[in-house]
């Protein structure tokens, strides 16, 4: 999947002889041709060929399929072209990498400003922000290095990006644990406050006892306990933080525009995991589904690209990532077994070689609806404010 050795041998004669190129599945070939009027004479590499060109230069005989002697001028021209491609890819990766760090810092800063956070929690958040700052400094050192060549910068940025992704997942888990502990402390405080309502004379809430309201509450006590066990408290599950709102707004702007802003969309989707996937789905339904009555997964499947023969496309890459996060969430909540058929349908579609049907969003939506019900959310399905279609327009 790269430019052939024979192609490199022709590069020094570019603009001197009539040339043509072919690009089949990323294997680029350049050759001399008879002059054809109006032929598109140029050189182009698709992303697959671009990413593998460094290997071709490192081991030309192996990747070229022979032991052809490459003229020094051809090798120099090929290296210049490879450096140009690698520099562009590294800059793109650098921007995406830095944006991921910035997005996470925004979330941490919003958590830090929460008035309910304790001093200890704020100190932990400050430590998290310092870790992200350290990653950003390492990234800038790579990009500003005068000792690394194009290949070295590309490889080191890629390695650092993998470490940053692991760090962000760990920080998200710490935030989730912090929030869970805060909720548990709030429940304990509420229970302690309730016990203080017992009077000094031993009569508990005597005013309530007169009208019998406590009896009604006690009669429903068993049902309330059961509801707490089977669902989470929906008084908080549908209250989304600033970073979640910003994330779904960014997804909306990326997909509901002329074309698709791939970079904006992928910045958010690269961070999807078990702990935040439902926040994104529910927040989308709450804030953005009313316009067209679309869930996030329906909008995504219609906007994402399929790639070449479904390989390397956004539908498969992020479809699998979201499915994995939903699967883990379903297992955590104990509802996976009733959703196995939907997950199986998604796996089958994502494994398709030639075509991924957009209708698979329905399986995602079924899963999201069941998980949302378990969580106690009222935003498990998209809503629409569109007026019903009149009979005349049908």
SS3 202: coil
Pair type for strands 19-24 and 27-32:
antiparallel
The residue from 70, 98, 118 where one domain ends is 70
Angle at 153 between CA 148 and CA 158, to 5 degrees: 150
Mean pLDDT of 92-117: 83
* Residue at 248 is within a domain: no
Of 45, 70, 95, which closes a domain?
70
Q: What are the distances in angstroms from CA 331 to CA 68, 133, 309, 336?
A: 56, 34, 32, 5
- What is the model's pLDDT at position 28? 64
Residue 334 in domain: yes
Inter-helix orientation angle 242-255/72-112, to 10°: 140
Domain count, the chain: 2
37 occurs within a structural domain: yes
pLDDT at 228: 36
CA-based diameter of the chain, in Å? 107
| Residue 164, pLDDT score | 87
The C-alpha atoms of residue 189 and residue 221 are separated, in whole angstroms, by 19
Among the listed residues 331, 305, 332, 336, the one whose alpha carbon sits nearest the alpha carbon of residue 319: 305
Do the domain assignments include residue 36?
Answer: yes
Using 50, 70 and 90 to split pLDDT, how confident is the model at 203? very low
| DSSP annotation of 12 | G
Tens-place pLDDT, residues 38-80: 334 344 444 444 445 444 444 444 444 444 455 676 667 667 7
Categorize the per-residue pLDDT at 222 as very low, low, confident or very high, splitting at 50, 70 and 90. very low
Establish if 159 belongs to a structural domain: no
Closest by CA to 323, choosing from 349, 305, 299, is 349
β-bridge partners, 311 = 308
Is residue 342 one of the residues assigned to a domain? yes
Distance in angstroms (rounded) separating the CA atoms of residues 44 and 21: 8
* Residue at which a domain ends, from 50, 70, 90: 70
pLDDT per residue over 327-374, tens digit each? Answer: 999 999 999 999 999 999 999 988 877 778 889 999 999 999 999 999
Q: What pLDDT is stored for residue 70 in this prediction? A: 57
| Residue 167 domain flag | no
Question: Token pair 């992704």 is at which residue?
Answer: 165
Q: Output the DSSP codes for 145-192.
A: -SSS-HHHHHHHHHHHHHHHHHHHHHHHHHHHHHHHHHHHHHHHHHHH
Q: Reply yes or no on whether the pLDDT at 102 is more than 60.
A: yes
Domain containing 9: what range? 5-70
Between 6 and 369, where is the model more confident?
Answer: 369
Closest C-alpha to 139, from 99, 86, 177, 179: 99
The rounded distance, in Å, linking the Cα atoms of 325 and 333 is 13
Note whether residue 344 is domain-resident: yes
């Amino acid at each position: 999947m790269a430019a052939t050795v024979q192609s490199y041998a022709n590069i020094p004669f570019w603009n001197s002889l009539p040339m043509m190129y072919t690009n089949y599945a990323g294997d680029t070939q350049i050759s001399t041709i008879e002059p054809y009027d109006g032929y598109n004479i140029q050189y182009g590499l698709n992303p697959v060929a671009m990413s593998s060109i460094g290997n071709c230069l490192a081991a030309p005989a192996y990747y070229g399929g022979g032991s052809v002697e490459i003229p020094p001028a051809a090798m120099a021209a090929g290296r210049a072209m490879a450096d140009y491609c690698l520099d562009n890819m590294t800059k793109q990766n650098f921007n995406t990498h830095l944006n991921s760090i910035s997005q996470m810092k925004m979330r941490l800063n919003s958590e830090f400003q929460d008035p309910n956070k304790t001093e200890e929690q704020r100190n932990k958040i400050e430590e998290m922000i310092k870790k992200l700052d350290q990653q950003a400094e390492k990234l800038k050192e790579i990009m500003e290095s005068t000792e690394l060549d194009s290949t070295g910068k590309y490889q080191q940025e890629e390695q650092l990006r993998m470490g940053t992704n692991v760090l962000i997942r760990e920080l998200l888990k710490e935030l989730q644990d912090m929030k869970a502990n805060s909720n548990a402390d709030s429940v304990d405080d509420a229970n302690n406050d309730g016990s203080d309502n017992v009077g000094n004379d031993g009569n508990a809430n005597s005013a309530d006892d007169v009208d019998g309201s406590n009896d009604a509450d006690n009669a429903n006590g068993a049902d309330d306990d059961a509801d707490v066990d089977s669902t989470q408290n929906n008084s908080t599950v549908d209250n989304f933080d600033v970073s979640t709102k910003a994330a779904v707004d960014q997804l909306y702007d990326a997909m509901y525009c002329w074309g698709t802003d791939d970079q904006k969309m992928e910045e958010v989707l690269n961070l999807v995991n078990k702990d935040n996937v439902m926040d994104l789905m529910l927040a989308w339904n709450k804030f953005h589904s009313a316009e067209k009555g679309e869930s996030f997964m329906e909008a995504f499947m219609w906007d994402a690209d399929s790639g070449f023969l479904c390989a390397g496309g956004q539908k498969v890459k992020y479809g699998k990532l979201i499915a994995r996060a939903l699967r883990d969430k379903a297992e955590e909540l104990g509802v996976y077994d009733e959703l196995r058929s939907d997950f199986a349908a998604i796996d089958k579609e994502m494994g398709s070689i030639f075509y991924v049907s957009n209708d698979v969003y329905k399986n995602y939506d079924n899963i999201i609806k069941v998980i949302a019900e378990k969580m106690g959310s009222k935003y498990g399905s998209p809503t629409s404010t569109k007026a019903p279609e009149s009979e005349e327009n049908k």
